Amino acid sequence: MNISTIHLRKVSLPLRNPFKTHQGELHERSVIIVVAKDSQGLQGFGEVTAFPSPFYTAETLETAWHMLIDIILPLLKEKPIQHPSDFLEMTDFIQGNQMAKAGMEGALWDLYAKQRQVSLAELIGGTRSSVKAGAVLSLSNSLEKDIHQLKHSGYERYKLKVEKGREKEMIEQAQAIDPELAIMIDANGMYTEQDLDHLFSLDQLGLLMIEQPFQPGDFYLHKQAQQQMETPLCLDESVMSFHDAKQAIKLGSCRVVNIKINRVGGLMAAINIHDFCQDHDIPVWCGGMVETGISKAHNIALASLPNFSIPGDLSSSDRYFSKDLLHRPIKVVNGEINAPDGYGIGVEVDQSFLEKMTYQSFLGDIK
């Protein structure tokens, strides 16, 4: 595979509105954009969606920056790869650091698809020309306004961020605004074994699913809860790899899996999880990370695979940002996003705006 340079950019974009969960509040979104360039001038783009602090996973933006520069870049220079799928095996010895891996691998997939003059969705076997969009409702004071705007745009699935002890109140508040709203809740691992009875009480609320009730890696409690609940449990933070997904499904710890490219270590791992879930009749959906249009474009390609039967966290670019990193923002129309049909991820990055929003960069030669 022809790769000449890797350019890393730390970028920060202000959010239109604060994004609130029980874990904290974001006012701006910082990410690392990875740009892989070949000798012909083609560029592939990837995105590292780690957060500044380790509240979601152990990774942070700074640890990912270190891994990319000090571990992964020298590895790429030492061991040239022929296909982006080789990257997963090449970095398998690196424990954790899934988001750093995913950002680099994403740039390689985009570049490779452009070199082959095909879309990324086509390259990985996608079967959909459009994907259904779902929205995240944060703990804000504009819930009614948000719901009406999102419903008008055709969003079909709504993920509500909740606080422990106030779930019923918050769910009923959303249902009062629109009784037909298809709601799931995201717990972000806030429950413990002592909360099992409380969790069981939510089984009567008609939720689509409850996402990640218990701590990451706790397949035991998820299994105990799922065995006693009609509401499907969905795993998010617990599934950090293909091995985690396989373990969760074999144990019966969930009935749905949320696949995030960055969380599982890259597109190849995400495809493997999709295929395993499909073989075991476990529906999947594509999660979001309050990311830019670059990462969204990768997610859309992934969500074009056949077992993504639940609308994902695939919102319009202007859902979080006044201006995205793309010339033409990603838009939800009638609840769907058309899969970009250009080469690679199929979107055009606004290079001048990317440079403007970059506050630190690193350029590494591969050859």
Give the CATH number for residue 168.
3.20.20.120
User: Between residues 25 and 324, which one has the greater pLDDT?
Assistant: 324
For residue range 149-180, list pLDDT tens digits in order: 888 888 888 888 888 998 998 888 888 888 88
Vertex 57, ends 362 and 323: CA angle to 5°? 55
- Sheet containing 358-365, strands listed edge to edge, beginning at the edge strand earlier in sequence: 43-48, 24-37, 5-21, 358-365
Are residues 64 and 86 located together in one domain of the fold?
yes
Are residues 191 and 204 located together in one domain of the fold?
yes
Residue 140 has pLDDT above 70, yes or no: no
Q: Which of 49-58, 127-136, 148-157, 191-200 has the lowest mean pLDDT?
A: 148-157
Q: What's the rounded mean pLDDT across residues 46-70?
A: 95
d(CA 108, CA 6): 10
Alpha-carbon torsion 366, 11, 187, 320, what sign?
A: negative
Q: Is 246 a catalytic residue?
A: no
Q: Is 296 a catalytic residue?
A: no
Residue 148 has pLDDT above 90, yes or no: no
Residue 20 has pLDDT above 80, yes or no: no
The structural domain count of the chain equals 2
Are residues 208 and 294 located together in one domain of the fold?
yes
Are residues 184 and 160 located together in one domain of the fold?
yes
Q: Does residue 343 belong to any structural domain of this protein?
A: no
Model pTM?
Answer: 0.93
Whole-number percent of the chain with pLDDT over 90: 72
Q: Does residue 149 belong to any structural domain of this protein?
A: yes
Are residues 154 and 253 located together in one domain of the fold?
yes
pLDDT at 160: 87
Catalytic residue among 145, 161, 168, 296: 161
Query: Could you tell me the pLDDT band of residue 230, with boundaries at 50, 70 and 90?
Result: very high
Are residues 50 and 136 located together in one domain of the fold?
no
Residue 249 has pLDDT above 80, yes or no: yes
pLDDT at 149: 84
Mean pLDDT over the full length of the chain:
92
Residue 34 has pLDDT above 90, yes or no: yes
Are residues 259 and 300 located together in one domain of the fold?
yes
109-123, 129-143, 145-159, 333-347: range with highest mean pLDDT: 109-123
Are residues 184 and 287 located together in one domain of the fold?
yes
User: Between residues 202 and 135, which one has the greater pLDDT?
Assistant: 202
pLDDT at 346: 96
Q: Does residue 173 belong to any structural domain of this protein?
A: yes
Catalytic residue among 114, 260, 296, 323: 260
Residue 96: give the domain boundaries: 5-117+348-365
Are residues 328 and 225 located together in one domain of the fold?
yes
- The β-bridge relationship of strands 336-338 and 5-21 is unpaired
Q: What's the rounded mean pLDDT across residues 229-255?
A: 97
Residue 234 has pLDDT above 70, yes or no: yes
Dmax (CA) of the chain: 61
Q: Does residue 315 belong to any structural domain of this protein?
A: yes
pLDDT at 139: 61
